[in-house]
Structure 1
Amino acid sequence: MWAVLAVEFVLALWEQQWPLAGIAVATFVMTLAPLVLVSRLGVRLPWSFVVSITAFIFATIYLGEAADFYLRFWWWDGMLHLGSALGFGILGFLLVFMLFQGDRYAAPAWALAFIAFSFAVTIGALWEIFEFAVDSAFGLSMQETGLADTMGDLVVDVIGASAGAAAGWLYLHGRSLGGSAALMQAFIDRNRQLFRKFRK
């Protein structure tokens, strides 16, 4: 994906398509930003996380905006909302679990799952507020059809957040939702200093 962005940037400069070149650069910078941030916080991301983050940003900004996937595929926005909510649900679980240093008995599994769910839905709601603010301030159409688009996105966010929270709950019970358990275990294994009380 980084190679595609580099090639597109060069081609855009060659063809003097300045907005496209700007989007390619912005996308590249945004894919690196989370990696720089977590490294400063002393967190080590498994490659599965790195690939997921890069793919999501690439799909959202470059494919969505530059390649007009939002207009060409009616399901593109919903798919990204579902994926991001699922990811934030898992991230929310890991953050809460980190606060307890990996002690699975510090709180009931349902409580950790509920906090993870709330975290993911909050992120989704804040994004919708951001879209509304940008549309109101700059006359854009990020919300597309207005209320229907916003409510549809929130419904999808709730579904994704529920799946992410369920993945955390299942993990604490020794089960998995898809490959979620392996994903979370990989994160914990690479950050053992943050999960000192964790026991398999």
Structure 2
Amino acid sequence: MREQGFVVKGIWLILCLAFVGGIAIGRLSLSFVAGITFLLTLVPVYFAQRMEVKLPLSFIAAIVVFIFATIFLGEAIDFYEKYWWWDIVLHGGSALGFGLIGFLFVFTLFEGDRYAAPPVVVAFMALNFAVTIGVLWEIFEFAMDQWFGLNMQKSGLVDTMGDLIVDVAGASLGAGAGYLYLSGRDVGGVHYFVDGFIKLNRRMFRKHRLGRGGRGGDGAARSGGQSRGGR
């Protein structure tokens, strides 16, 4: 908890002040949303510690900012009504991120062996992971609306389907970036993100060899193994 950057700590402070302030002025709905948002921002930190996974501080910050922008700013401060593009940007950006997370998740299962499955298969699995997260989020929005009287789905079916379409588009971009990484190409500096995570969690990528930009090492190792096998 104490290792988090100033962005995360700043958001936690805002949420705590909003929680206390809501109680003080009698706006219990504000306190409720602030409390729920605060608890959800702790989830990635908790799971990372339980699973013994080291996440870059920028990675945790991005997740916390997304949760804060989606629930607190979107619902309590009513950004969804003030800015028509708010929901689109959040869903597109999060889907892109979850596409990359899905790629890392699948890549971890193969212990970093880029030859364990064709890049297109890994990308497809990453896409499925990201879209599933998007579907679960829509279920979460529906539950919050039904149980606590919020209005996260706005126009109902139209809003939900629009969000899912944006989710699929963003997830496709994230999974596509993972595909390009495995294919030895880079787009948008993705290899910095992937290689940074791998360096923090080397025990989970025992079959991965970091070469230039995370590439080249595996090929050299595989070629060497084939040469020795030939002899």
Taking structure 1 as the reference length, the TM-score comes to 0.90
Alignment RMSD (CA, Å)? 2.0
Would you say 1:104 and 2:100 are equivalent positions? no
Change (3 A) 1:23 1:134: closer
**Distance between the aligned counterparts of 1:168 and 1:130, measured in 2?**
27
Partner of 2:63: 53
Partner of 1:20: 30
Unaligned ranges ≥5, structure 2: 1-10, 211-231
Distance apart, 1:11 and its partner CA: 2.9
Would you say 1:188 and 2:198 are equivalent positions? yes
Q: What pairs with 1:41-190 in structure 2 (closer than 5 Å)?
A: 41-132=51-142, 135=145, 141-190=151-200
State whether residues 43 and 191 of structure 1, in contact with CA within 8 Å, keep that contact through their aligned partners in structure 2: yes
**Distance between the aligned counterparts of 2:97 and 2:129, measured in 1?**
11
**Distance between the aligned counterparts of 1:104 and 1:158, measured in 2?**
24
Partner of 1:37: 47
Change (3 A) 1:93 1:75: same
Distance apart, 1:17 and its partner CA: 2.4
**Distance between the aligned counterparts of 1:37 and 1:47, measured in 2?**
14
Matched AA of 1:171: Y
% identity of equivalent residues: 57
Number of aligned residue pairs: 200
State whether residues 75 and 152 of structure 2, in contact with CA within 8 Å, keep that contact through their aligned partners in structure 1: no
**Distance between the aligned counterparts of 2:89 and 2:21, measured in 1?**
29
Matched AA of 1:178: G
Partner of 2:8: none
The structure with more radius of gyration: 2
Unaligned ranges ≥5, structure 1: none
Distance apart, 1:147 and its partner CA: 2.5
Distance apart, 1:103 and its partner CA: 0.3
Q: Tell me: higher relative CO, structure 1 or 2? Use CA pairs within 8 A at least 6 residues apart.
A: 1
Distance apart, 1:120 and its partner CA: 0.9
Distance apart, 1:89 and its partner CA: 0.7
**Distance between the aligned counterparts of 1:171 and 1:99, measured in 2?**
17
Distance apart, 1:140 and its partner CA: 5.3
